[in-house]
Structure 1
Amino acid sequence: MAADAEVGTEAPGKKGLSKLFVIGGGAAIVVLLAGAGLFFALSSSATDASADGQGAATTIPSDTFIFNLPPMMVNLNSEGGTQSNMKLTIALEVANEAMMNEIQPRLPKVIDAFQVYMRELRKSDLEGSAGIYRLKEELLRRVNMAIYPAHVQSVLFKEILVQ
């Protein structure tokens, strides 16, 4: 009888512990499924809104205008007697059409500022993406100085050829 009493006391403890694991596991699965469902519901509604053209990121129109400059051909500063040339086609990104009209009469000053700077460049100054980035930033600085108080937002390279 003592053995039966001992077995009877162990069984309810093990049953309670196993019920706890089953309930906890079930609750964890429900939470994971609910989270996954919420994730897919939110992500599909965001893509539906952007596909309809109602998403915030896709409906912001670009209010900038592009002002094309004539192609420029420049002799670069020579290194040890070797002649190098650069052909460059640039566009300027401006905020509105009025800014384009302000730049037009000052175009000779812009081209002069570009020519003076680029004639002092060496072929090695234009190597790699870092060299092109420095050129872009310097041209942006010079164009904004030449057309002040007007302002250009960005210098866009359409063509760069260095020989």
Structure 2
Amino acid sequence: MADNAADGEEGKEKKGGLGLLGWGAAVILALALGGGGFYATYSGLLGGAAPAPADLAADMVPAVPTFLELDPLMITVGGEGSLRQLRFRAFLQLSDPAGAAQVAALQPRILDIFATYLRALGLETLENPAALLRIRAQLLRRLQLLAGPDAVSDLLIVDFVIA
């Protein structure tokens, strides 16, 4: 029986695990390897050459967008006998500056599509501030169907006033 008691004490002394010193060494090793990997990747030792500072500066300069101002629209809204008017003015952000003349030539058709859509909406829809995002998305979708998916990248509504 004395042997069993001695074996029990030995089992308690031989506890597995890294201990505090082992965990500290593991954390220091992980930080060193992470920092070394970051430095190797950033300096270009791994994954190709690092971009030159001139290349970084050229990438940071955004391309200047091209805008086309549409003629203002005055649309009667609110159904029969209504005297309410919607004043609408917008800009088109063009994807390709070279295609500005082509989109400008489509301006009468664009204004017709916009007027038809806005006239079909109810007055309560037009007066709802949350509906403006949906209206803008619908107008942009109709515009992209007319001019092509890559001709116009955005529609910027400047005036949307019901009087």
TM-score of the aligned structures, taking structure 1 as reference length: 0.62
Aligned length: 145
Amino acid at match of 2:56: Q
The SS at the match of 1:153 is: strand
Given that residues 93 and 155 in structure 1 are in contact (C-alpha distance below 8 angstroms), is that contact kept between their aligned partners in structure 2? yes
CA distance in 1, matches of 2:31, 2:151: 54
Please tell me whether residue 38 in structure 1 is matched to residue 39 in structure 2: no
CA distance in 2, matches of 1:52, 1:113: 46
CA distance in 2, matches of 1:64, 1:86: 28
Percent identical residues: 23
For residues 63-110 of structure 1, give each alpha carbon's deviation from its aligned partner in whole angstroms, at most 9, with x where no partner exists.
Answer: 64211112222221339x664332222111212222111122221221
1:24 to 9, 13, 22: 22
Q: Which runs of 5+ in 1 are unaligned?
A: 1-5
Please tell me whether residue 54 in structure 1 is matched to residue 51 in structure 2: no
Residue 115 of structure 1: aligned partner: 115
CA distance in 1, matches of 2:110, 2:64: 23
Residue 137 of structure 2: aligned partner: 137
Q: Which runs of 5+ in 2 are unaligned?
A: 1-5, 43-50
Given that residues 63 and 95 in structure 1 are in contact (C-alpha distance below 8 angstroms), is that contact kept between their aligned partners in structure 2? no
Residue 67 of structure 2: aligned partner: 66
For residues 35-63 of structure 1, give each alpha carbon's deviation from its aligned partner in whole angstroms, at most 9, with x where no partner exists.
Answer: 7x739x67xx7xxx9x988289x537336
Residue 48 of structure 2: aligned partner: none
Amino acid at match of 2:159: E
The SS at the match of 1:92 is: strand
Query: Equivalent residues in 2 for 1:85-124 (5 A)?
Result: 85-124=85-124
CA distance in 2, matches of 1:147, 1:19: 69
**Alpha carbon RMSD of aligned pairs, Å?**
4.1
The SS at the match of 1:66 is: strand
TM-score of the aligned structures, taking structure 2 as reference length: 0.62
Given that residues 96 and 151 in structure 2 are in contact (C-alpha distance below 8 angstroms), is that contact kept between their aligned partners in structure 1? no
Amino acid at match of 2:105: P
Amino acid at match of 2:19: F
CA distance in 2, matches of 1:161, 1:17: 78
The SS at the match of 2:68 is: strand
The SS at the match of 2:159 is: strand
